[in-house]
Amino acid sequence: MRSGNQLIFKISYLTIGSLFCLTLYFTYSSYALHLKFKTEDKLNHLAAIVNTAATFVDGDAYEQLLQNQKANPEKIENNLLYKKLHHQLQDIYERSQLESPIYFLTYDESAQQFIYGPTSSSVSYFGKSYTQFPEILMERYTEGAVINRYDTENGQWLSAFSPIRNSKGEVVAVLQADSPFCSFWSKALQDLFFNTLLSLMVVLLLAFTLRKYMKRMIQLSSEKELAEEKAEIKSKFLSTMSHEIRTPMNAVIGLTNILLDESPREDQKKNLKTLKFSADLLLTLINDILDYSKLEAGEINLEEINYDLHQLIYNIMDSFRLTAEKKQLPLEIYIDEKVPTHVIGDPVRLSQILTNLVGNAIKFTEQGKVAVHLTMMDQKGERANIRFEVIDTGIGIPEDKFEAIFESFTQADLTTTRKFGGTGLG
């Protein structure tokens, strides 16, 4: 049983460990999907901004601006077209709530690099080199594209660009918008950390609960094993003692039968019959005690045999005659004339009950009498309802103790135990 509990304990922990691993897997998968979707949303957002803004830019005018910049670079910030483009980009930047400025880029074929044009930033980068551009910008600047995460000295970025064309269809510049990858990556990472921590707390709680449960299970298992060991010891004891108890009882019954066969006097014969009745009853009770299967089942089946009810009552009272005479208590029997002599039932169980009640009545009565009354309550066909009463003039039982006396090993008053003896099983 203990090895079985240990196996269950290991399986439970393996299950929780597997559950934790699965939780981490799904948490990380959720994080990866969340990051992927957020990245795609951000790229689509950037692409929508630059594609829309590019439609409002006059390519020919921008080309003229570039020529003016080469001729008079110092006066470019006072150029009306420059100011117009700068304010347009600022307006788009503020409306779109981007984290980084929107700007124009022009490819210088002679230098093979991109040059900044007007930006939405208040700081002018116009004419400065754009050196940390990704390769895809070089490959597709005439088409426009989105640029997934790429590295620069300022961190990782997401970008989208759209070409600006003149009236001839030539690309004179690209309009680009950027967003730092860390802006939503850090939030996704926080969610991952929180979900992982939550999963760990749940698993620890499950493990703690399981540990308490398994400790309780092991304790109950140990108690069950101990109870089974005690029951086995009891069973072996009863089996061993069966012959030891039955042998002297059979000897008493056999010797009583021999004495009855030797034509004793009437008073001796009466005493011997009382002895035989009590011995037979005691042997039956011993057999019940030794029948361990009945004890385990918690039940004893009632027999249905034909017996002399009147004689049974007289035999029971005769078995207490000597005890009653010592206390000078008369024993009375009243049997209703409607009560049949022979009935079908279990005489042994009835004898047990009446013997117990009469014995207690005599034990707790100092003066007066003890009587047994049998009254026919009603009869329907072959079924009779007979009332059995054991009446005494003893100390009695207070009404508030009626329920308590039916509990095992309980008596109405502890002082009676010291005076009269007994365990309370009656």
Helices 59-71/80-96 angle, 10° precision: 120
- Express each pLDDT in 42-65 by its tens digit: 889 899 988 988 888 888 888 888
Q: Which domain holds residue 104?
A: 2-187
The domain total for the chain is 2
Both tokens of residue 206?
Answer: 């499950």
pLDDT at 375: 96
pLDDT at 207 over 70: yes
**Residues 181 and 309 placed together within one structural domain of the fold:** no
Contact present, 214 and 8 (Cβ < 8 Å)? yes
pLDDT at 34: 72
d(CA 170, CA 109): 14
**Residues 174 and 312 placed together within one structural domain of the fold:** no
d(CA 177, CA 417): 100
pLDDT at 257: 80
**Residue 74's CATH number:** 3.30.450.20
**Residue 376's CATH number:** 3.30.565.10
Enter the pTM of the model: 0.44
- Between 165-179, 287-301, 322-336, 373-387, the lowest mean confidence (pLDDT) is in 287-301
Given 187, 214, 248, the domain boundary residue is 187
Residues 6+ apart with CB under 8 A from 189: 31
pLDDT at 390: 95
d(CA 315, CA 258): 20
d(CA 99, CA 102): 10
Both tokens of residue 324?
Answer: 């009653």
Contact present, 306 and 346 (Cβ < 8 Å)? no
- The answer as to whether 420 is a domain residue is no
- Express each pLDDT in 408-423 by its tens digit: 545 555 454 444 444 4
**Residues 145 and 6 placed together within one structural domain of the fold:** yes
**Residues 182 and 328 placed together within one structural domain of the fold:** no
- The answer as to whether 274 is a domain residue is no
pLDDT at 294: 57
d(CA 253, CA 44): 107
